[in-house]
A and B are shown apart, each in its own frame.
Chain A
Amino acid sequence: MLDTMFSEDDVIFKKELNSLLDKLLPINWDHYPDETDDFHWELSKKIKLSLSINNWIAPSWPKEYGGGGKEVTKAIILSETMAYRMSPGNDRFATRMIGPTILKYGTSLQKKKILSEITSGKVQWCQGYSEPNSGSDLASITTKGDYNEETETITINGTKIWTTLANRANRMFILVRSLPGSKRHQGLTFVVLDMNNKGITVNPIKNIAGKFSFNEVVLKDVKISSENIIGKLHEGWKIALDLLNFERSGIDYIGWAERCLDDLISYSKKNRLNKYEMIFDSGTFKKSVAILKADLESAKIMTYKAIWKKSVSDDIHMEPSMSKILATEINNKVHDYALEILKDKIGFIDEDPQNNFVQRILNHRLFFVSGGILAGTNEIQKNIIAQRGLGLPK
């Protein structure tokens, strides 16, 4: 319904992207992209390379860095469509977090090196923010980044946790405490590093969906040169927060939610509620789905707004927080309703779970527990809205 927001050129881009995905994804592909799975990972690499050939990995970045040089609407379409198609190969850590951050804060050398590498489709990034016991309190970081003025190097020691795809990634952006004895958001430095550096150990952690999507990353005497500092030494906090605003649009959740709702409607047209009527013909079903659709469209417009606003202004406080909450919550609501409709079919482990709608919805719902937690919990987002947005006291 919000397609009318896009130009004719955008619509053509979406068609071409879908055609490319038709060619690259296996027929009837409906698996959540799980790049820890070997098949998904190989597919992800293949898709990234194909996107790269078309300059589509980062369609709105400048052409000089391998971007498409197009409007931000192309980036919205790319993320939403790939999520809807459940396609692997959309490295959000690269294109929606570190990339825009480098564009804003990086030196010309960093831009050339890091952005061009991302758009080549040959790297996978991960995010080194969370630490054991730090929970939602990002400023409580203890991982040390000791700076040596003589050698102009930083030596990193500490542990990061809940690091999605660290077991696949070859690059990481990380926040470290570089000023000994500093407190909270003072004395932090934002750096990027090569995961092939000596001293990095990745320990996968099994999640509730039975997958190894996130990890513990232990960094022991990892040495990197000062060329890898983004912005200034000891002044990484602002950059780290700004990156989160890039991260928090929630656009993927919109794509996943819409796919789930569309698939649920298809299911309801093929399956009976009772011997007299199809699920779809029930008034209660229609009403529930219509309410979900209305919530989904309004959440979608908020994610568009957050991305658009970030692309035109730095004066942005609440939009990413609101869109992150709305997108993750509607995705959960849609999956919850699907589970309610599937009722008694839930509760059994299917022999071939990848080919089963019921198992897919269940696995996804389990996986999407993470949505309300990652990138700053939804409760933290509500604090941001209340305090930074509405001016309520801290």
Chain B
Amino acid sequence: MNFNINETQSMLISSAKEVLSNKYDLKLINKRIDTKSNYLPGWKELQEQGFMGMLAKESIGGYGLSFHEFSLIMEVWGTYLCSGPIIENSIAGVLTLQKYNESKFSDILKKIIRNQYVITTPLSNQFYKKGNIPEIKKIKNKMYISGSLSKVPFFELSTHIIFIAKQNNNPKIIILPTNKINIEKVIFDLLGNKLVNIYIENNNISDDNFIGNDNNTHEIIDFMMNHMIISKCSEMIGASEAVLNKTIDYIKNREQFGRSLASFQSIQHKISEIFTLISETKELSRYLSKKINSNQKKYSSLVKIKCNESLNKIIWDAHQLHGAIGFTWDYGLHLYTRKILMNKSVLGDTEFHSKILLS
């Protein structure tokens, strides 16, 4: 039993903070929501620092970090409200391809690490909202794939997309270049990030496009989902820590009735509750990030339920503690609120995960 973060992990967190902390600007994120700009704080910076190879083995040019260490970086990513397909690229891309088909996809893996390829995936939407599964058909010894995929994040940034398809009603995992896929509709999430609905029309595919084999498709899907869920939770935890710090700063500096807001017991109790909720959620998520694999769906469900319910509570309490200033657009507290609210339903809501946890 050891709850400490080791020296390497501390350095990793510091270095991610150094890279990301100066690059985000709440005003520009506000502007992104207003103007639908392509502002993606943190994305290029992490790419330039070689972070796309975080989870890749050192033998193929990566950092060889564990998933636990990746989740620590995702906390920092969430703290600074960064945007970009980091989870899609690192989990659906590097981690999965490396684990299940390293030799087959070695070229793609190397190109992801060198920032030549970027991976996206609509897996969340496919998995939790049934339907939206393109179909593979064989015509004269050739395979073709057709169908719609909705709410694909960061599509225009990506060179490849990984998704679930079906062939004779059996699920398959497919990786496809994005250049021959048509965008049908553009939508925006609560933070102004662009998502698209796409249509794949009779794209010719071969064995090279299949990830895994007939025997391990379900395992790979679970593997990806479990890791993506914990990553998303880490991001939510990071955002909630930013909310905590912002709130502490505010109550320390704001004076009412001739004294600091932070000196009132009712305020102290509320902030203690927020701090405690975040601490327990973080501890649970960090611990289970060390244990997660393909066959621990209950672990990821547990963490997601905890994040959905607890972090949702802290944002509303933080708004109450901020008073009117937190109600303004420019102050930016709403950006964290939006992030946490949005992520509550991404990759499964509490109801969905309750069924898994009690199965």
Contact surface of A with B, Cβ cutoff 8 Å:
1-2, 4-6, 71-73, 265, 280, 283, 286-287, 289-291, 293-295, 297-299, 301-302, 304-305, 308-309, 318, 322, 325-326, 379, 381-383, 385-387, 389-390, 392-394
Q: Which residues of B contact A4 (CB under 8 A)?
A: 291
If A290-B353, A290-B358, A298-B284 are given as contacts, then 12 extra A-B residue pairs at C-beta distance below 8 Å, sorted by A number, are: A73-B1, A291-B305, A298-B281, A301-B287, A304-B1, A304-B3, A309-B3, A318-B275, A386-B271, A390-B272, A390-B275, A392-B271
Q: A5-B287, A290-B305, A302-B283 are in contact. Are A392 and B276 (CB under 8 A)?
A: no
Q: Is the CB of A392 within 8 A of B3?
A: no
Residue from B252, B280, B298, B351 within 8 A of A299 (CB atoms)? B280
Which residues of B approach A to under 8 Å, CB–CB?
A: 1-3, 248, 251-252, 260, 262-263, 265, 268-269, 271-273, 275-276, 279-281, 283-284, 287-288, 291, 298-299, 301-303, 305-306, 309-310, 350-351, 353-355, 357-358
Contacts of B350 in A (CB 8 A): 287, 290-291
- B251, closest chain A residue (CB): A392
Q: Which A residues are CB-close (under 8 A) to B351?
A: 283, 287
Among the interface residues A286, A287, A383, which one has the most CB atoms of the partner chain B within 10 A? A287
Closest to B279 in A: A322
Residues of B contacting A379 in the complex (Cβ-Cβ under 8 angstroms)? 269
Which of B272, B301, B355 meets A382, CB within 8 Å? B272
CB pair A293–B1 under 8 Å, yes or no, is no
* CB-contact partner of B280 in A280, A309, A322, A393, under 8 A: A322
* Contact, CB under 8 Å: A390 / B248: yes
Given contacts A287-B350, A322-B279, contact A387 B287 (CB under 8 A): no
Q: Which residues of chain A have C-beta atoms less than 8 A from B306's C-beta?
A: 294-295, 297-298
* 9 CB-based A-B contacts, threshold 8 Å: A2-B287, A280-B358, A283-B351, A294-B305, A294-B357, A308-B1, A322-B276, A385-B275, A392-B263
Is the Cβ of B280 less than 8 Å from the Cβ of A72?
Answer: no
Residues of B within 8 A of A387 (CB): 268
Given known contacts A305-B283, A383-B265, is B271 in contact with A390 (CB within 8 Å)?
yes
Instruction: Report the number of A-B residue pairs with Cβ-Cβ less than 8 Å.
Output: 118
Give the residues in chain B near A298, CB-CB below 8 Å. 280-281, 283-284, 306, 310
Cα distance A73–B354 in the bound complex, in angstroms: 30
A301 to chain B, nearest CB (A): 5
- Pair A72/B1 contact, Cβ less than 8 Å: yes
Q: What A residues does B298 contact at CB under 8 A? A: 1
Complex Cα gap A289–B291 (Å): 23
B354 → chain A closest CB, angstroms: 3
Determine if A1 and B280 form an interchain contact, defined as CB atoms under 8 angstroms apart: no
Cα A66 to Cα B260 in complex, Å, equals 52
Interface SS, B side: helix
* Alpha-carbon separation in the docked complex, A1 to B302 (Å): 9
Minimal Cβ-Cβ distance residue in B for A268: B358
Q: A286-B358, A392-B268 are in contact. Are A297 and B284 (CB under 8 A)?
A: yes
Q: Please determine whether A308 and B3 come into contact, CB atoms closer than 8 angstroms.
A: yes
Which residues of chain A have C-beta atoms less than 8 A from B280's C-beta?
298-299, 301-302, 322, 326
Q: How far is the CB of A67 from chain B (nearest CB, A)?
A: 18
Contact between chains at B355 and A385 (CB < 8 Å) = no
**Measured CA separation A271–B353 after assembly (Å):** 24
Top 6 A-B pairs, shortest CB-CB distance = A290-B354, A386-B268, A298-B280, A382-B272, A385-B272, A294-B306
Neighbouring B residues of A280 by C-beta, 8 Å: 358
The smallest beta-carbon distance between B300 and chain A, in angstroms, is: 11
| Distance from B291 Cβ to chain A, minimum over Cβ atoms (Å) | 6
Enumerate chain B residues within 8 angstroms of A293, measured Cβ to Cβ: 302, 305, 357-358
Residues of A within 8 A of B260 (CB): 393
Set B276, B310, B353: member contacting A385, Cβ < 8 A: B276
Q: Assess whether B302 is in contact with A326, with CB atoms less than 8 Å apart.
A: no
Q: Which residues of A contact B291 (CB under 8 A)?
A: 4
Chain A residues whose CB sits within 8 angstroms of the CB of B273 once the complex forms: 382
- How far does the alpha carbon of A295 sit from the alpha carbon of B305 in the complex, in Å? 9
CA distance A309 to B2 in the complex (A): 9
Expressed in whole angstroms, the Cα–Cα distance for A71 and B309 within the complex equals 34
Contacts of A393 in B (CB 8 A): 260, 262-263
Interface pair A382/B269, CB less than 8 Å apart: yes
Chain A minimum-CB-distance residue to B355: A286
Task: Give the distance to chain A from B199, nearest Cβ to Cβ, in Å.
Answer: 34
A153 CB, min distance to chain B CBs, angstroms? 42
CB distance from B186 to the nearest CB of A (A): 34
How many Å lie between the Cα of A283 and that of B265 in the bound state?
A: 39
Give min CB distance, B112 to chain A, whole Å: 31
Contacts of A295 in B (CB 8 A): 306, 309-310
Bound Cα distance from A290 to B350, whole angstroms? 8
Q: Looking at the complex, which one of B275, B281, B303 makes contact with A389 (CB distance below 8 Å)?
A: B275
Cβ-defined contact, B305 with A382, below 8 A: no
Q: A286-B358, A287-B354, A297-B302 are in contact. Are A302 and B309 (CB under 8 A)?
A: no
Q: A5-B1, A294-B309, A302-B283 are in contact. Are A382 and B268 (CB under 8 A)?
A: yes
Q: How far is the CA of A393 from the CA of B276 in the complex (A)?
A: 18
Shortest B319–chain A CB gap in Å is: 19
State A392–B281 Cα separation when bound (angstroms): 23
Question: How long is the Cα–Cα vector from A299 to B3 in the complex, in angstroms?
Answer: 15
User: A72 vs B268: C-alpha distance in the bound complex, in angstroms?
Assistant: 33
Q: Is the CB of B358 within 8 A of A289?
A: yes
Write the nearest CB–CB distance from A267 to chain B, whole angstroms: 14
| Residues on the A chain within 8 Å of B302, using CB | 1, 293-294, 297
Within 8 Å CB of B281, what residues of A?
Answer: 298
Which A residue sits closest to B252, measured CB to CB? Answer: A392
Docked CA distance A305–B272 (Å): 18
| Contact partners of B251 in chain A: CB under 8 A | 392
